[in-house]
């Protein structure tokens, strides 16, 4: 596991041999690029182009509140959940909505909709909002595969990375260590973007 800022990948004769992390060169037999929105910059240092869009997504966070939700709410124009500490976290779509020109105003509007959708939320208060950048492959589907033409490099990037991490981690580990590519991954190879 590499922790720190990846400056670049190191290569030798068409194979990734490690990475330079915060100025220190680390050797590795295999490198997995699973850095979300940062993945294209890392992969490009090995000559790999990742067709990834990174649209912004706004999420509102309430102050901690007594229990209002028992699970995830996923409606047409609102999704929300409540954290263990009691915060309601909501977005206008699964990934968080477009923050628009005025993220603060968009956050207030979204919070009003969120509060209005909950019973017993009269005392619910907006604490803050966040804007994140969603790693979204150009066709909307995950990229989970070895990088063609470069040995020792595996790519795992998708918008639903947190949700799919356990399954993708298992599939990727099996492919890297045992050479077995799960049939479920067939549609998600980077090679589908080859021109």
pTM above 0.85, yes or no: no
Place of tokens 């954290």: 83
**Mean pLDDT across the chain:** 92
98: number of Cβ within 10 Å: 15
Q: Would you say residue 135 has pLDDT above 60? A: yes
What is the distance between the alpha carbons of residues 97 and 59, in angstroms, rounded to a whole number? 7
- Tens of pLDDT, residue by residue over 39-66, are 999 999 999 999 999 989 899 999 999 9
pLDDT score for 94: 64
What is the distance between the alpha carbons of residues 109 and 78, in angstroms, rounded to a whole number? 12
State the Cα angle at 61 between 57 and 66, rounded to 5°.
Answer: 150
The arithmetic mean of pLDDT across residues 102-120, rounded, is 95
DSSP string, 7-62: EEEEEETTEEEEEEETTEEEE-S-EEE--GGGHHHHHHTTT----EE--EEEEEEE
- Residue 97's pLDDT band (boundaries 50, 70, 90)? confident
Burial class (CB in 10 A: 0-12, 13-18, 19+), 140: exposed
The arithmetic mean of pLDDT across residues 124-147, rounded, is 94
191: number of Cβ within 10 Å: 11
What is the distance between the alpha carbons of residues 81 and 58, in angstroms, rounded to a whole number? 15
**Where are the extended beta strands (E) located within 28-146?**
31-33, 52-53, 56-62, 73-74, 79-82, 88-91, 126-133, 136-137, 143-146
């Amino acid at each position: 596991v590499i922790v720190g800022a990846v400056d670049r990948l190191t290569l030798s004769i068409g194979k990734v041999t490690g990475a330079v992390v915060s100025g220190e060169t680390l050797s590795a037999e295999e490198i997995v690029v699973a850095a979300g929105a940062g993945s294209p910059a890392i992969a490009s240092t090995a000559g790999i182009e990742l067709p990834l869009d990174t649209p912004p997504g706004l999420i509102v966070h309430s102050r901690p509140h007594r229990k209002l939700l028992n699970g995830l709410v996923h409606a047409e124009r609102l999704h929300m959940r409540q954290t263990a500490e009691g915060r309601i976290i909501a977005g206008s779509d699964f990934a968080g909505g477009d923050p628009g020109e005025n993220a603060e105003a968009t956050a207030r509007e979204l919070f009003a909709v969120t509060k209005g959708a909950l019973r017993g939320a009269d005392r619910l208060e907006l604490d803050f909002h966040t804007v994140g950048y969603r790693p979204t492959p150009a066709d909307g589907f995950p990229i989970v595969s070895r990088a063609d033409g470069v040995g020792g490099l595996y790519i795992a990037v998708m918008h639903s990375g947190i949700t799919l991490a356990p399954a993708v981690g298992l599939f990727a580990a099996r492919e890297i260590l045992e050479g077995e590519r799960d049939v479920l991954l067939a549609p998600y190879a980077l090679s589908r973007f080859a021109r």
